[in-house]
Amino acid sequence: MAILQSINIGQPRPIAAKSAMTGIYKEPIPEEVEIEITKDGLTGDAIIDRKHHGGVDQAIYVYFADDYDHWTEALERDIAPGTFGENLTIGGVEGREVAIGDRFEIDEVLLEVTSHRTPCSVFAARMGSPAWVKQFFKAGRPGAYCRVLKPGHIRTGEPVIYVPFEGDRITVRQLLALEGERDIEPELMERVLKTPVHYKMRAEFEEKLARLF
């Protein structure tokens, strides 16, 4: 069974080589503390750059324990939950195979996967490596942004019911691989549009297809 291994909350902090503040530094909260999830995300969690983070279609960022296992081996060091700036760390789910439309039910809360995470320079600075963006892309382990279908309260250690999307599966790994691609196959874009994908990607693909036909 999948399990909620960690709930992670960040406060505004400066970051090396950047003039602005960031909310990427997230720390696990104590297991006994109950946290509210609203349509906008975790109550009390800092979202600084609202152009690229937050919003209803990426209210919650989820990363997976098996992906952390990969990075622990690849980087040859232990990595604490929250290091990648995720709100929730979930164990018992194969992160690379999570697809758009998959759902996570945690007590009264229901989340739906909308998109992958795109690595950026702030993430690279957080990891202390200029090569991090390329390394993250190459690994194909982006985690998943989610919209909140049902808000509520959760605690660390609660079971997670993982419900795979019943339609055509487009994984977060596949979407990450499309970053920077100009000539995406129309058939693939049409497949993506049949999923509950992030509204920004939906608008982008609809515009591209309209120009083609």
Could you read off the pLDDT of 168-204 as tens digits, one per residue? Answer: 999 999 999 999 888 899 999 999 999 999 999 999 9
Q: What is the CATH number of the domain that holds 39?
A: 2.40.33.20
Supply the range of the domain harboring residue 50: 2-212
Q: How many CB atoms lie within 10 A of CB 69?
A: 13
| Residues 133/120, Cβ–Cβ less than 8 Å | yes
pLDDT band at 21 (very low <50, low <70, confident <90, very high): confident
Residue 87 has pLDDT above 90, yes or no: yes
The pLDDT assigned to 182 comes to: 83
Side chain identity, residue 37: I
For residue range 50-59, what is the model confidence (pLDDT) as tens digits? 776 778 999 9
Residue 29 has pLDDT above 70, yes or no: yes
CA 22 vs CA 59, 76, 119, 131: distances in Å: 16, 26, 14, 20
pLDDT band at 17 (very low <50, low <70, confident <90, very high): low
Residue (of 195, 40, 187) closest to 115 by Cα position = 195
The pLDDT assigned to 210 comes to: 93
| Residues 115/198, Cβ–Cβ less than 8 Å | yes
Give the chain's domain count.
Answer: 1
The pLDDT assigned to 53 comes to: 76
